[in-house]
Chain A
């Protein structure tokens, strides 16, 4: 019997035996190809980006001729008022976007939890569908709505509220409105995922015990959904802090945020070291905010557990 089985095993083609060997030890082998790719296409590029940010390079004919260590670019960036205002603008825009997405997204998730089957389906369709369409298409829609002869202006003109078309495009408000609408699904989906993980009987139990609906929302649903709030905020913040498309289209090209600044330094003025430093600052400030979001979420989750 054992002989028959061992015979069977030796008849396996090479490919199958290879996979067998790789899987049976439960080792790291299956992950090696992606590790190699990640090291070559992510880790090494980041090290190079870091080194470029701190070096004085001379480029001739597309090749680096000399490279010396310098902190000038970092110092310049940190003392340059243009950098300060640009990053402040980006941060301000991203934080407002995150808060507004939470204000508009949380009620949708609440409706999802207390709603029936049909409501749940509609909400899922409306939140997943935008994620399948291009960001540019969704931004373009706001060009149509907010433009000089767009939906908002023609409605207001028609109603006689205004005499001249309002200039909404190419302002901070246009960018903010577009950002909130485009990132709303990214906030709603994690909220729904986290909130529907919990037993819906909890909500009913709370209401049966005499808690009001608002009371239930405040004491049961809100604490339990704090991980979802954390995930959603982290995603929306990262995307809106580093977005390029919305400010470029709705801000009309003169709305400079950190991402458009990097684009101009890298693609138009070909300042590699400057672009590297700006990228590094963007990445580090972004990570800092994510860490703060994680700490706050953690704190609230623990607080929620203690309340029980």
Chain B
């Protein structure tokens, strides 16, 4: 940080006060996760701080609980389905929004965003009721398609904003060289869109895996996703078991973060 002269004492206090809040907020962001990690190694069977011993038995117990393992597999499946559907539906939609020459491109972009603006819980209730009317019962597939509709906007917006910033001269040059639209898409546009698609994929996957608001009304009774299992577990038990699951999720999140940082770059995610 560049050191700057402060014109007055009160000014220096003002700036350091702002920095002080910033540091406090940054600690607030990370401290709870660290505390959970510490608790997850505690030997006692109830939540207490500071821990009294060190054990990995809670981590072993996570894998002994079949509903948690199944929940994890279900959530992975939902996450993958949502991501694939969002790419298949979202990328062409973004192309139409950004490159289309038809009336109503703006209307289309707005329409696609609407389901994401609506509270997830309302979308969940609407889909549950409508499904019941036409005989579609909640299942892992209903959950996947519902979350897809909910987060499709994220993928469309990410890809679309990248498309709008691409140099149109590149595509025009390819077209002048008699590349077909397909060749143009495959060799010019898609490779340039890859970072945006990846960034969108990371967030749609996380949403598919972790979503509660839509999932709570649309998940199948027999194939329950991990967040629903966790919610029940957190409400009715108070052992460090959940801390161990949290520990696993935190490690997975760090891995995802490293993948994002090395493939897309952290600053690109937030554009």
Are A and B associated in one complex?
A: yes
Establish whether residues B21 and A107, one from each chain, have CB atoms under 8 Å apart when the complex forms.
yes
Question: B194 at interface (Cβ–Cβ under 8 A)?
Answer: no
Q: What is the chain A residue whose CB lies nearest that of B33?
A: A141
Establish whether residues A110 and B22, one from each chain, have CB atoms under 8 Å apart when the complex forms.
yes
Q: Which of A18-26, A74-82, A300-308 contacts B (4 or more CB under 8 A)?
A: A18-26
Establish whether residues A149 and B49, one from each chain, have CB atoms under 8 Å apart when the complex forms.
yes
List B residues 89-121 near A (Cβ within 8 Å).
89-90, 92-93, 95-97, 99-102, 104, 108, 111-112, 114-115, 117-121
Chain A residues with Cβ under 8 A from B1's Cβ?
A: 114-116, 119
Question: A132 at interface (Cβ–Cβ under 8 A)?
Answer: yes
Interface band, chain B = 35 or more
Question: B48 at interface (Cβ–Cβ under 8 A)?
Answer: yes
For the complex formed, measure the closest distance between the CB of A154 and the CB atoms of chain B, giving whole angstroms: 5
Cα–Cα distance between A136 and B90 once the two chains are bound (Å): 28
Q: What is the chain B residue whose CB lies nearest that of A49?
A: B126
Question: A125 at interface (Cβ–Cβ under 8 A)?
Answer: yes
Among A33, A151, A184, A212, contact of B35 (Cβ-Cβ < 8 Å): A151
Establish whether residues B231 and A137, one from each chain, have CB atoms under 8 Å apart when the complex forms.
no
Establish whether residues B152 and A38, one from each chain, have CB atoms under 8 Å apart when the complex forms.
yes
A244-B11 CB under 8 A given contacts A27-B102, A133-B33, A141-B36? no
A248-B235 CB under 8 A given contacts A19-B181, A108-B22, A189-B270? yes
Q: B243-270, CB under 8 A of A: which get 1 and which 0?
A: 1011001101110110011000011011
Q: What is the chain B residue whose CB lies nearest that of A287?
A: B117
List A residues 208-235 near B (Cβ within 8 Å).
212-214, 217
Chain A residues within 8 Å of B, Cβ to Cβ: 5, 9, 12, 16-17, 19-20, 23-31, 33-35, 37-38, 41-42, 44-46, 48-49, 52, 62, 64, 103-105, 107-108, 110-111, 114-116, 119-145, 147, 149-151, 154, 181, 184-185, 188-189, 192-193, 207, 212-214, 217, 238, 241-245, 248-249, 253, 259, 262-263, 266-267, 272, 275-276, 279-280, 282-283, 286-287, 290
Known: A31-B93, A134-B249. 8 other contacts (CB 8 A): A20-B180, A27-B96, A30-B100, A49-B125, A107-B22, A130-B29, A188-B25, A242-B120
Chain B residues with Cβ under 8 A from A115's Cβ?
A: 1
Q: What is the chain B residue whose CB lies nearest that of A30?
A: B92
Chain B residues with Cβ under 8 A from A144's Cβ?
A: 32, 35-36, 39, 47, 49, 243
Chain A residues with Cβ under 8 A from B146's Cβ?
A: 41
A-B pairs under 8 A by CB, number: 310
Question: B168 at interface (Cβ–Cβ under 8 A)?
Answer: no
Cα–Cα distance between A217 and B104 once the two chains are bound (Å): 40
For the complex formed, measure the closest distance between the CB of B101 and the CB atoms of chain A, giving whole angstroms: 4
Question: B148 at interface (Cβ–Cβ under 8 A)?
Answer: yes
A33-B89 CB under 8 A given contacts A16-B182, A129-B254? yes
Cα–Cα distance between A119 and B95 once the two chains are bound (Å): 36
Chain B residues with Cβ under 8 A from A287's Cβ?
A: 117
Chain A residues with Cβ under 8 A from B45's Cβ?
A: none
Cα–Cα distance between A43 and B123 once the two chains are bound (Å): 10
A244-B270 CB under 8 A given contacts A16-B180, A42-B149, A144-B49? no
CB-CB nearest 9 A-B residue pairs: A141-B32, A30-B92, A242-B119, A45-B126, A31-B96, A23-B181, A107-B22, A132-B253, A34-B89
Cα–Cα distance between A241 and B27 once the two chains are bound (Å): 25
Establish whether residues B49 and A45, one from each chain, have CB atoms under 8 Å apart when the complex forms.
no
Establish whether residues B29 and A184, one from each chain, have CB atoms under 8 Å apart when the complex forms.
yes
A214-B122 CB under 8 A given contacts A111-B19, A134-B210? no
Establish whether residues B29 and A46, one from each chain, have CB atoms under 8 Å apart when the complex forms.
no
Establish whether residues B231 and A245, one from each chain, have CB atoms under 8 Å apart when the complex forms.
yes
Cα–Cα distance between A141 and B182 once the two chains are bound (Å): 50
Chain B residues with Cβ under 8 A from A241's Cβ?
A: 119
Cα–Cα distance between A9 and B51 once the two chains are bound (Å): 71
Among B14, B121, B266, contact of A259 (Cβ-Cβ < 8 Å): B121
Establish whether residues B216 and A135, one from each chain, have CB atoms under 8 Å apart when the complex forms.
no
- 11 sampled A-B residue pairs with Cβ under 8 A: A28-B104, A33-B89, A49-B129, A52-B129, A107-B22, A144-B39, A181-B32, A212-B8, A267-B216, A280-B122, A290-B117
